[in-house]
Amino acid sequence: MHRRAFLSGAALFSTACLFTGRVPEFALIQAGSSKHESVPDLYAMFKNPALNYHPFVRWWWTGNKVEAGELIRELRLLKDAGIGGVEINPIEFPSRFEGDDLGRPSLEWLSDEWIGMLRIVFEEARSLGMTCDLIVGSGWPFGAEYLEGEERSQITVIAVKKLTGPLDYEISEFEIFKEADPAVSSPFPGRTMDLLSLYLVPDPLDSIDKVIDLTEKKVNGSFRISVPRGKHALYGLVKIHGFMEVINGAPGATGPVLNHYDQKAVRKYLKNMSDTIENRTGPLSGHIRALFTDSMELEGANWSSDMMDEFRKRRGYDIFPYLPFILFKTGAMGNVTDFSYGVPMSSQMENMIRRMRYDFEITKAELLEERFINTFTEWCRELNIKSRAQAYGRSFFPLESSFHYDIPECESWTMNWLKHKVGEEMPEEDYRRGRAYTMVNKYVSSAANLTGKRLVSCEEMTDTYTVFNTSLENLKIGGDQSAITGVTHSVFHGFNYSPPEAPYPGWIRYGAYYNEKNTWWPWFHLYNEYKGRMSALLQNVTMYTDIAILPPNDDMWSLIGSQMEPFPSITH
């Protein structure tokens, strides 16, 4: 059958199943249901979907410069536009010109004044029948100024200097640190570095036995090295403490990112947040639906104080001597900047290093699951609140990491890549072009379906570059693309807290300019009603497929390491 005809027919068939409230016998068998089991009145839901099915918005509290009256006004504005709920999300103020902020003070995250604003919002949202979620921390990944020592995110990186002998060579520890320091997107100014090892390595390398360990040869902060005849390279293994700063954090929740590999630090951070808020509000379960973890853009974080001990326990050998050859030169988002940065290796050595790289990757993923994901979801259960998260990023299991959350979340983008004409083919050479959805959407929605969850959330129509160019048509196209990847509920990116008296266009940081000053705002409610009808149906049916696609992730991890989902720098 022709591919396009097959896809069209499949879409029509699944739509018919949805709207008739019937599914084929084989789908019921797979779902473990009886064909005689009662089903909800889907048409009644479709005609008049409850407000919780309507889209929510990510509600940025810009700079935490919030006031009670404006918060109430914006909630009512959103309700009138057909929005069903808000994700309270404090973010750095988008200052562009002096005086932009109208002289309004910033409330510090977790301060009494800030929590007072939460209480006002909780009360007003309840009166409007709207739902509230609350982001953990501010910005992403979360952290805070008060984090210390092992609580701060850590990364181990390499510095390589190629040399040709015979040569007497001197290099300072500072020069090694300078070469190793990765060009991450959001470096923390207070980061510190330690040299874990320094090796002199033959070029090419065919055996670890030919590596000379110079780590203990430091004198007055420098190394003096006699390089033998031939090509060699110095390999420095450097640990960076507190290497990354929270991206766009609001006052009180900026500073170094939390160490997600440190369970004690994660637990302490989360408990501090919930205890501080609940001391003023009472149980959060009476006010919010879910606590939310935003993008896990950890910029390649890969370390904790016991990382090597844990590796030995789990994998049965010591990887430390091989670590400089397993790691790549990395930069922004932990992406590899140069695959040929080190020395070439023999095929036998390369094969061994690849197997070890896989072992390191799976160890990191296990620790993230145990120490961060499980700690987060357990904390939410203790609070009797749902857990919602974007459980993907470098070093996460693409599928399994979403198993644990009550509301796993996808992500779809707007104008960054959704640039194609009607009927134009979406090219295979660029996996993003013409696609609003990201490649993680199928992993996340599959994880939800495999664990019996019908609520699949989506940070929908993320827009960071073309904020004022998005039309309702773009939102419709992108939103429909989200739905076909398994999304059943949308959280729009996003609505900026912006008082009417703010200079035009307002306090806008991100988003598709969801704002009453937008020319399409009077018709926005129609789109939200459509989205509500879709979600009401999609959350009350059982998904079925007889096709499974299993990418070679294990091979990829061994060859090039885990990738930055949802936008890998290399597809394999």
Backbone angles phi, psi at 304, to 5 degrees: -145, 170
The beta strands (E) that lie in 269-334 are given as 290-293, 329-330
Strand 154-172, strand 222-241: pairing: antiparallel
List phi, psi (to 5°) of 376. -65, -50
Please report, for the chain, the start and end positions of each structural domain, with discontinuous segments joined by +: 154-243+300-346
Dmax over CA atoms of the chain, in Å, equals: 83
Handedness of CA 490, 493, 499, 503 (dihedral sign): negative
Q: Provide the b/e sequence for 17-49 (b: ≥16 CB within 10 Å).
A: bbeeeebeeebbeebeeeeeeeeeebeebbeeb
Q: Are 398 and 565 in contact (CB under 8 A)?
A: yes
Q: How far is residue 505's CA from residue 469's CA, in Å, rounded to a whole number?
A: 13
Strands 457-462, 491-496: parallel, antiparallel or unpaired by DSSP? parallel
Q: Which of 190, 181, 186 is nearest to 155 (CA)?
A: 181
Residues 6+ apart with CB under 8 A from 200: 211, 212, 214, 225, 227, 232, 233, 234, 235
pLDDT reported for residue 145? 97
Neighbouring C-beta atoms of residue 124, cutoff 10 Å: 19
Instruction: Return the HEC string of 498-555.
Output: CCCCCCCCCCCCCCCCCCCCCCCHHHHHHHHHHHHHHHHHHCCCCCCCCCCCCCCHHH
The DSSP output letter for 321 is: G
Q: What is the CA radius of gyration of the chain?
A: 26
pTM of the model: 0.91
Contact between 161 and 234 (Cβ < 8 Å): yes
CA distance 15 to 234: 61
CA distances from 199 to 202, 223, 396, 520 (A): 10, 11, 30, 62
pLDDT at 97 (0 to 100): 63
DSSP 187-205: B-TT-EEEEEEEEEEESSB
Return d(Cα 1, Cα 3) in angstroms, integer: 6
pLDDT value, residue 25: 35
CA distance 361 to 351: 16
Residue 223: both structure tokens together: 């190394």
Q: Which segments of the chain have a pLDDT < 50?
A: 1-37
CB 564 within 8 A of CB 297: yes
> Which pLDDT score is estimated for 5?
38
DSSP state of 370: I
Tokens of 375: 């700690």
Q: What are phi and psi of 62, to 5 degrees?
A: -60, 110
3-state class percentages of the chain: helix first, strand second, coil last, to nearest 5: 35, 20, 45
User: Mapping DSSP to helix (H, G, I), strand (E, B) and coil, where does residue 17 land?
Assistant: helix
Peptide bond into 494 cis (omega under 30): yes
Q: What is the pLDDT of residue 16?
A: 38
Q: Which residues contact 164 (CB under 8 A, 6 or more apart)?
A: 227, 230, 231, 232
Beta bridge partners of 135: 292
pLDDT value of residue 222: 98
Q: Which residue has the tokens 């729009």?
A: 492
Range 21-27 contact pairs with CB under 8 angstroms and sequence separation of 24 or more: 23/541, 23/542, 23/544, 24/544, 26/544, 26/546, 27/542, 27/544
Q: Which residues contact 196 (CB under 8 A, 6 or more apart)?
A: 156, 215, 237, 238, 239
**Two tokens, residue 543:** 């998904």
